[in-house]
């Protein structure tokens, strides 16, 4: 007969943390959220650490290059989605790596002779008030001038005028040469009392724009996740079909870490993919595997050589795998089982393999629960899809602003490789994800800072100021349905707050 586990499949919502002794050191400003992304041997350091325990999901509606830059700026990491051509994905990775901290690739560019009304429309569409004028209208063309929204008054100008009339020509611009450091560029900005400094090569072609505000922002983001060349660290998702072609292209593009995107990681195809990486690149290319839900799945991928392992099947907000196929496990139970296996593996082999909790997070405190149960970091889709930096549109539905969000197992995504079981069928035969809307939440930075504040505060309540310490000290208790109700506002009449205030 089938093996039947006696344990109930538990979710994050069924646990609460118990307070530990809070000492003088337990204040939020002392809390470090630094955590390993890749495996390491006992007594050694991981090759890559996150400064914030967040990675964005390998999804078309979540992880594009803008998300990768914004999240790396805050200390996390994005895995650029793989459900696109190899060339398109590699170009996204290149664009993130080209975007040095403080060095911005211009995405608002026009040619000489462009009508002002087109410039105004471009500014509205991109939200960027500085537009470059180049000989071919591209971000790498020969720089001819700049125009900002301070150079014209919409109510006073003729929209049919050409941009040449309003731009500051190259002769009057202060520019920096290729290879300038961010510190040197900042000196030029302050000495010349300008807000934008173009960086051009020896042929006069535009490379980057450096803004006064971005330099200040860089100083205000000391946790930015950077490589040795001060470029943002970025990941990329891959599948187990075209990896022989996709991985070399991504490595050539400068990707820092790979992650297999699959609904079921406990498979020979993931081992074959890891074997390919190890045979071609050795340990120099880092690759994560998953998803799994138990110790058997963890051990299989650990022995295969995975650098980190993702945990979770069927717990995502847009995932319907459990109702379609009846397969999966509650996220908390999955984490508990896999973490035990990870700790046993570390004792046996002396190799620590970080665990990524993927799915099941509804509230911010669920992130802390996932970390307390032993996860090293979390992967989130819905959380990040709400922000300006995700690739989808902001729409108005009724009186609310929303963003589109769809699962990789939906017909819209057509990401059949993620659910591939080794046959030759090239389309999804049934959906394992839905197409949906989620409330629009604004910029990533503001929301993520609030989430991190909650995590740090809770960790202090647990007597821990590092994630490793949280693993050791956390105490959790199961909760009843009644105690969940007790934990929310109850038996009162809530005031309606005037939105004007």
Helices (H) and strands (E) in the chain, counts: 15, 24
Q: How many CB atoms lie within 10 A of CB 499?
A: 5
The pLDDT of residue 1: 75
Q: Is 175 labeled as catalytic in the residue annotation?
A: no
SS3 of residue 443 by DSSP: coil
SS (H, E, C) 267-287: CHHHHHHHHHHHHHHCCCCCE
Contact 246, 274 (CB under 8 A): no
Query: Can you give the pLDDT at residue 149?
Result: 84
Catalytic residue among 319, 356, 460, 462: 319
Q: How is residue 32 annotated by DSSP?
A: B
**Alpha carbon of 137 to those of 109, 112, 113, 123, 433: distances in Å?**
5, 8, 10, 15, 40
pTM of the predicted protein model: 0.79
Cβ(335)–Cβ(370) below 8 Å: yes
State how far the Cα of 474 lies from the Cα of 337, in Å rounded to an integer: 16
Tokens for 161, please give them: 């005028």
- Rounded Cα distance, 298 and 293, in Å: 8
Position of tokens 């989430």? 451
Give 309-335 pLDDT, tens digit per residue.
999 986 666 666 666 667 789 999 999
Residue 500's pLDDT is 44
Sort residue 442 into left (φ over 0), alpha (ψ -120 to 50) or beta: left
Residue ranges of the chain whose pLDDT lies below 50: 413, 416, 418, 499-501
- CA nearest to 240, candidates 196, 209, 272, 193: 272
pLDDT of 321: 64
Q: Please check whether residue 41 is in contact with residue 349, taking contact to mean a CB–CB distance below 8 angstroms.
A: no
Name which of 388, 423, 425, 418 is nearest 403 in CA terms. Answer: 388
User: What is the reported pLDDT for 472?
Assistant: 97
So what's the pLDDT on residue 416?
47
**Residue 399 three-state SS:** coil
The residue with tokens 């069927």 is 314
State the Cα–Cα distance between residues 459 and 450, nearest whole angstrom.
14
DSSP string of 476-493?
EEE--HHHHHHTS--SS-
What does the DSSP 8-state code read for residue 356?
E
471 with 374: CB under 8 angstroms? yes
3-state secondary structure 9-55: CCCHHHEEECCCCCCCCCCHHHCECCEECCCEECCCCCCCEECCCEE
Facing residues of 395 across strands?
402
Q: In this predicted structure, what is the pLDDT of residue 448?
A: 97
Annotated catalytic residue, options 73, 342, 418, 460: 418
Tokens for 470?
């949280």
Active-site residue 259, yes or no? no
- Comparing CA positions, the residue from 8, 6, 3, 1 lying closest to residue 333 is 8
Cα distance between residue 346 and residue 101, in whole Å? 36
pLDDT tens sequence across 74-122: 999 999 999 999 999 999 999 999 877 677 888 789 999 898 888 888 8
Query: Quick one: pLDDT at residue 491?
Result: 72
Q: Give the angle 59-64-67 at the CA atoms, nearest 5°.
A: 105
Sheet holding 400-406, edge to edge: 394-397, 400-406, 435-439
Task: Name the residue among 347, 348, 346, 338 with its Cα closest to residue 374.
Answer: 338
């Amino acid at each position: 007969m089938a093996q039947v586990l006696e344990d109930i499949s538990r979710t994050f919502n069924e646990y609460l943390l118990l307070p530990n002794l809070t000492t003088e050191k337990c204040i939020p400003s002392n809390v470090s959220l630094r955590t390993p992304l890749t495996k390491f041997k006992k007594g050694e350091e991981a090759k890559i650490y996150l400064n914030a325990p967040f990675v964005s999901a390998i999804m078309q509606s979540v992880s594009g290059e803008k998300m990768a830059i914004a999240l790396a700026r805050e200390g996390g990491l994005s895995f650029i989605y793989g459900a696109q051509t190899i060339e398109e994905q590699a170009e996204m990775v290149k664009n993130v790596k080209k975007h040095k901290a403080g060095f911005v690739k211009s995405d608002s560019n026009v040619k000489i002779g462009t009508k002002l009304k087109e410039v105004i429309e471009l500014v509205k569409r991109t939200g960027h008030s500085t537009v470059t004028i180049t000989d071919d209208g591209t971000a790498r063309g020969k720089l001819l001038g700049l125009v900002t929204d301070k150079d014209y008054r919409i109510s006073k100008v003729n929209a049919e005028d050409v941009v040449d009339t309003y731009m500051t020509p190259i002769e009057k611009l202060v520019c920096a040469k290729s290879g300038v450091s961010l510190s040197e560029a900042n000196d030029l900005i302050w000495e010349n009392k300008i807000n934008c400094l173009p960086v051009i090569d020896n042929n006069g072609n535009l490379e980057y724009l450096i803004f006064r505000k971005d330099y200040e922002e860089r100083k205000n983001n000391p946790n930015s996740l950077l490589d040795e060349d001060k470029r943002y660290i970025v990941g990329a998702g891959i599948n187990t079909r075209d990896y022989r072609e996709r991985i070399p292209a991504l490595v050539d593009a400068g990707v820092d870490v790979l992650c297999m995107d699959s609904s079921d990681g406990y498979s020979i195809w993931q081992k074959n993919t890891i074997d390919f990486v190890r045979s071609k690149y050795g340990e120099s290319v880092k690759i994560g595997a998953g998803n799994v839900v138990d110790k058997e799945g963890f051990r299989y991928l650990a022995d295969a050589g995975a650098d980190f392992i993702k945990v979770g099947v069927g717990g995502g907000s847009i995932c319907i795998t459990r109702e379609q196929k009846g397969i999966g496990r509650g996220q908390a139970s999955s984490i508990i089982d896999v973490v035990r296996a990870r700790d046993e593996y570390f004792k046996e082999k002396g190799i620590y393999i970080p665990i990524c909790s993927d799915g099941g997070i509804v509230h911010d405190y669920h992130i802390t629960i996932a970390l307390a149960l032993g996860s090293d970091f979390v992967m989130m889709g819905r959380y990040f899809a709400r922000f300006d930096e995700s690739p989808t549109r902001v729409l108005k539905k009724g009186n609310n602003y929303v963003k589109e969000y769809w699962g990789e197992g939906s017909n819209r995504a057509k990401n059949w490789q993620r659910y591939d079981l080794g046959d030759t069928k090239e389309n999804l035969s049934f959906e394992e994800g839905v197409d949906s809307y989620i409330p629009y939440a604004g910029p990533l930075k503001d929301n993520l800072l609030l989430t991190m504040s909650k995590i740090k505060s809770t960790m202090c309540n647990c007597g821990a100021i590092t994630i490793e310490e949280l693993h050791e000290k956390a105490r959790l208790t199961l909760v009843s349905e009644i105690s969940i109700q007790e934990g929310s506002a109850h038996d009162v009449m809530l005031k309606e707050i005037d939105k004007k205030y």
